[in-house]
Amino acid sequence: MAKSISPDLGRAALRALIKEGSPLGPLKVMASHIGRFFQIPLPGFRPYVVFGPEANRKVLVTERDKVLWRNTDPVTDLLRQGVLIVDGDEHDLYRKLMEPPLHPSQLSGFTSKFISHTERVTSKWQDGDVVDMLVESRKIALLIIMDTLFSKDVWDDIPLVWTPILKAIKYISPGMWILWRKMPRFGFRKPLNVLDKYLYGIIADRRRQKADKNQDLLQHLIDADLTDDIIRDQMLTMLIAGHDTSTALLAWVFVLLGQHPDVHKRVIEEVDSMEKSPLLDQVIKESLRLYPPIHIGNRSVAEEMEFNEGKVPTDERMFYSIYLTHRDPEIWENAENFCPERFARGQKTPPFAYVPFGGGPRTCIGAAFGQAEARVVLAQLLRTYKFEFADHKIHPHMGATLEPRPGVMMKVTSRDCEHRLG
Ligand code: HEM
């Protein structure tokens, strides 16, 4: 059994909730007072939380047969048989089909698309505009994922799909449904139908073309003789998992650069003078440590699991916390501080202490893609625009991913003239 929560601890957790404006505050309080194993005391929902290298290794590798990815929440309703939330042979089949087009060896072929979609989005900016980098990053990530995986250009369809995609993300984000699973949820059916129609349309078009000129992810699914429904499930999974995460990563990097002008300046110097910027890589890694877009892994326990600090009984819900692992002071020096240099060459972290992409056989299928995309898109943006942070209070919001809210407002000015003068 997990230790019970004292009234003092309850009050400290409440204060942290108010101060940080997010449940991450109380989670940190519970972790520091109780340790790497505790239960969240919500009415009707008492999930176990585990974190740290040993627990992560157990959940992700050595005892992963004791847990299920599938459970009964809105993610399962939305993604149905998507690779992210099925188990066993079914999972392995879809995963195997989708690995080749995302293999690191394929990534250099995507670089020009990463750049061109970034340019399309920035082409709408006027000098002096204040743009929300959370929104702009989403546009870039959306155009990229649809083009690279399904060879679909959504530029002209953004007005059609934008709200449905945001609704899909809202549908799976934590909310009151956690406490009242069957609560009626209004306003989702119509937009989700629009999104489905759009995806089924892409599948139908591709089947009509009967061409395999595109060896993209969609073609791999079609060639495997899957039904339209199963293909839709994989497409929606990749669309959500593959762009909402990148959106959050890009947006957090802008927050961190905005809050740390010295690092911002040094990154610009590097991207201007070098093809590959080691400091930018370190900034991306440190951003993924402090604000991992997927901050927890959600599991249903199929067979009792034993951790150093206690047991999780069968049929309970368990989260392994990436966020708490990444901020554990026993692992990280100055864990709360932004310090990209900690990822400088040669500096090692213990295994399973840094898990922004999960780990083991079900590690993120798009890990290499997501990192390559972030490197190229950020370098392109920083080389071509000057970004000035409109310093405003930002808090991490627990949506489907961890997002900087209310947004990342930045004044943008083209660096064209600066380059000409230089
Ligand atoms: C910065 C970008 C990204 C981050 C931080 C991220 C993070 C993660 C994490 C932590 C997991 C494991 C979750 C768990 O253990 O429960 C995961 C799984 C997954 N991710 Fe990503 N991801 C990113 C980008 C992408 C991209 C670009 C794609 C698609 C192209 C993608 C598709 C998936 C899929 C399908 C899974 C499930 C894999 C499986 O169960 O076999 N992700 N991701």
Confidence of residue 249 (pLDDT cuts 50, 70, 90): very high
Q: Residue of the nearest CA to atom 40 in ligand 1?
A: 84
Residue 249 Cβ contacting ligand 1 at under 6 Å = yes
Does 26 map to a domain? no
Does 273 map to a domain? yes
Whether residue 3 is predicted with pLDDT greater than 70 in this model: the reply is: no
Read off the pLDDT of residues 275-294 as tens digits, 9 standing for 90 and up.
Answer: 889 999 999 999 999 999 99
In ligand 1, which atom is closest to the CA atom of 149?
30
Does 59 map to a domain? yes
Q: Residue of the nearest CA to atom 14 in ligand 1?
A: 297
Read off the pLDDT of residues 349-367 as tens digits, 9 standing for 90 and up.
Answer: 899 999 999 999 999 999 9
- Report d(CA 213, CA 194) in Å as an integer: 28
Total count of residues recorded for the chain: 422
Residue 237 Cβ contacting ligand 1 at under 6 Å = yes
Cα(299) to ligand 1 centroid in Å equals 15
- Report d(CA 115, CA 124) in Å as an integer: 15
- Residue 193: CB atoms within 10 A of its CB come to 11
Kindly state the percentage of the chain with pLDDT values over 90.
84
Q: Residue of the nearest CA to atom 37 in ligand 1?
A: 84
Residue 53 Cβ contacting ligand 1 at under 6 Å = no
Does 2 map to a domain? no
Read off the pLDDT of residues 184-241 as tens digits, 9 standing for 90 and up.
Answer: 899 999 999 999 999 999 999 999 987 666 689 999 999 999 999 999 999 999 999 9
Contacts (Cβ under 8 Å, ≥6 apart) of 407: 132, 133, 134, 135
Does 127 map to a domain? yes
The CATH number of the domain holding residue 336 is: 1.10.630.10
Does 188 map to a domain? yes
- Structural domain count of the chain: 1
Q: What is the pLDDT of residue 336?
A: 95
- Report d(CA 134, CA 244) in Å as an integer: 10
Residue 79 Cβ contacting ligand 1 at under 6 Å = no
In ligand 1, which atom is closest to the CA atom of 362?
41
Confidence of residue 260 (pLDDT cuts 50, 70, 90): very high
Residue 236 Cβ contacting ligand 1 at under 6 Å = no
Does 3 map to a domain? no
- Report d(CA 84, CA 75) in Å as an integer: 9
Buried b (16+ CB within 10 A) or exposed e, 77-100: ebbbbbbbbbbeeebeebbebbee
* Residue span of the structural domain in which 196 resides: 35-421
- Is the Cα dihedral 70, 352, 292, 281 positive or negative? negative
- Report d(CA 148, CA 150) in Å as an integer: 6
Among 40-49, 100-109, 116-125, 222-231, which stretch is predicted with the lowest mean pLDDT?
40-49
Does 87 map to a domain? yes
Quote the mean pLDDT of the chain: 94
Residue 356 Cβ contacting ligand 1 at under 6 Å = yes
